[in-house]
């Protein structure tokens, strides 16, 4: 039986570093203390005016090709998970394919907001499992939300940042290699679709002068989400997927979470009876990078030697919609 194994894990971030002190001056109040004490955030990266999300995608992808010792023509499929695309149409993945010169690959974008990367590795793994045309799949989670921020909205402007993370999934024969994709679970609470998002620029509210004047094309927190929804849903999904995969949460060696709130991660780990050493966060340096934060945290952990062969690794993502995605891999 064919399976999908992660053979490369990399990230790319803009060079423009924004410290918390920038927002103290911008907003005319001390927000640094709250950001550090409540979210651990000290700085973040933003794209420059002449940079876009495809630049980050290509940067992460090129590193992944080097790490995996593959050339671009060996990539059979490129999936980009983002809700801050290069264009409304065509796909960001097609831009990445062109820049990489990956002439033999198919492409598509996937948008489940910040659950996008985990959804995309689920999809990519199942392409490999079900169709022997696909042997190397490049999956990228990318975020350029700084382009959609209202600089006077302290609920969003201090939290959101930019980055990209990439993995390459490779086909392996499970009889010879027991590592790889174990299973996944997707779930959505669609009644929250109007609570946070970018609500203009599509067909419902096309861009016009009124939209631009009202800043309706920028990211908005419309309502405050119940604080218990992420910890409760994450705990349940990880527990259910563990059971289906034939182990318990206590067997998991590392869990990578959507990193919008450190307290949600702490609570979930406590619910599962796991020590915080079994997760890894990068919010202190990169703030919240949406669909990129999980692959970025994975790349950082891998680079620091925090993962070893045979480790049981879980990914738990959630984002606007509300969409949730959980996946398990044997490293």
pLDDT of res. 222: 84
Question: Going by C-beta distance under 8 Å and a sequence separation of 6 or more, which residues neighbour residue 157?
Answer: 23, 26, 27, 149, 150, 151
* Closest by Cα among 43, 70, 25 to 289: 43
Q: For residue 329, what are its two tokens? A: 């891999």
pTM (two decimals): 0.95
Domains of the chain: 2-173 (3.40.47.10), 180-330 (3.40.47.10)
> How high is the pLDDT of residue 66?
98
What is the token pair recorded at 116?
């996008």
Separation of alpha carbons 131 and 301, rounded Å: 31
Cα(110)–Cα(305) distance, integer angstroms: 30
pLDDT given for residue 178 in this prediction: 84
**DSSP conformation class of 151:** T
For the chain, what is the total number of helices (H) and then of strands (E)? 11, 13
Q: What is the pLDDT of residue 216?
A: 85
**What per-residue confidence (pLDDT) applies to 306?**
97
pLDDT at 139: 98
Q: At what angle do helices 262-272 and 229-245 cross, to 10 degrees?
A: 40
pLDDT given for residue 203 in this prediction: 86
Q: What is the pLDDT along the chain (331 residues), one digit of tens a residue?
A: 899 999 999 999 999 999 999 999 999 999 999 999 999 999 999 999 999 999 999 999 999 999 999 999 999 999 999 999 999 999 999 999 999 999 999 999 999 999 999 999 999 999 999 999 999 999 999 999 999 999 999 889 999 999 999 999 999 997 777 899 999 999 999 999 999 899 988 988 998 888 888 888 989 888 888 889 999 999 999 999 999 999 999 999 999 999 989 999 999 999 999 999 999 999 999 999 999 999 999 999 999 999 999 999 999 999 999 999 999 999 9
Assess contact for 109 and 91: CB atoms under 8 A. Answer: yes
> Angle at Cα 81 formed by Cα 180 and Cα 8, nearest 5°?
35
DSSP readout, 59-82? HHHHHHHHHHT--GGG--EEEEE-
**Max Cα–Cα distance, the chain, nearest Å:** 61
């Amino acid at each position: 039986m064919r399976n999908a194994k992660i053979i490369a894990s990399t990230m790319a971030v803009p060079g423009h570093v924004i410290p918390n002190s920038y927002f103290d001056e911008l907003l005319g109040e001390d927000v640094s203390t709250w950001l550090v004490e409540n979210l651990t955030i000290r700085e973040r990266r933003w794209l420059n005016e002449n940079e876009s999300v495809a630049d980050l995608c290509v940067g992460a992808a090129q590193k992944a090709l080097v790490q995996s010792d593959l050339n671009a023509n060996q990539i059979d499929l490129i999936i980009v998970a983002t809700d801050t695309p290069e264009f409304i149409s065509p796909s960001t993945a097609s831009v990445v394919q062109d820049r990489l010169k990956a002439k033999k690959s198919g492409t598509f974008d996937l948008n489940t907001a910040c659950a996008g990367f985990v959804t995309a590795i689920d999809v990519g793994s199942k392409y490999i499992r079900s169709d022997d045309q696909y042997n190397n799949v490049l999956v990228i989670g990318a975020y350029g939300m700084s382009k959609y921020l209202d600089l006077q909205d302290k609920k969003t402007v201090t939290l959101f940042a930019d980055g990209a993370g990439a993995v390459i999934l490779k086909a392996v024969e499970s009889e010879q290699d027991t590592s790889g994709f174990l299973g996944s679970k997707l779930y959505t609470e669609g009644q929250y679709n109007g609570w946070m998002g970018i609500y203009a620029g599509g067909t419902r509210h096309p861009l016009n002068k009124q939209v631009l004047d009202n800043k309706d094309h920028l990211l908005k927190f419309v309502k405050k989400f119940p604080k218990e929804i992420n910890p409760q849903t994450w705990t349940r999904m990880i527990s259910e997927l563990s059971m289906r995969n034939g182990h318990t949460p206590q067997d998991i060696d590392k869990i990578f979470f959507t990193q919008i709130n450190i307290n949600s991660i702490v609570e979930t780990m406590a619910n599962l009876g796991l020590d915080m050493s079994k997760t890894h966060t990068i919010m202190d340096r990169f703030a919240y990078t949406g669909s990129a934060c999980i692959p970025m945290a994975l790349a950082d952990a891998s680079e620091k030697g925090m993962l070893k062969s045979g480790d049981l690794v879980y990914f738990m993502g959630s984002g606007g919609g509300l969409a949730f995605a959980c996946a398990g891999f044997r490293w």
